Amino acid sequence: MAELTQQANRSAALRKRGICDHGYIQGPPGHRQAPRSDWLCLDCGKTFATEAELEASREAAREAML
């Protein structure tokens, strides 16, 4: 539970700095009512063509927190 709280605090700190960690994602195979061919961050609205592109952006957000 402590680790989950720590992750949430980091995510909140990033958002305050204007950096999205893309933690709330909708992507392939997508929800049955709204299938997608890309990855969508439901927090900031940014789309990613591939999962690798999404992970690279997440890693950049993690590095920004250091």
Tell me the C-alpha distance between 3 and 47, whole Å: 28
Distance CA 14, CA 65 (A): 7
The CA angle 10-12-18, to the nearest 5 degrees, is: 105
Residue boundaries of the structural domains of the chain = 2-65
Tokens of 6: 């720590």
pLDDT per position as a tens digit, 21-66: 888 888 876 556 667 788 999 989 999 998 899 999 999 988 877 6
Q: Residue 11 in contact with residue 23, Cβ under 8 Å? A: yes
pTM above 0.75, yes or no: no
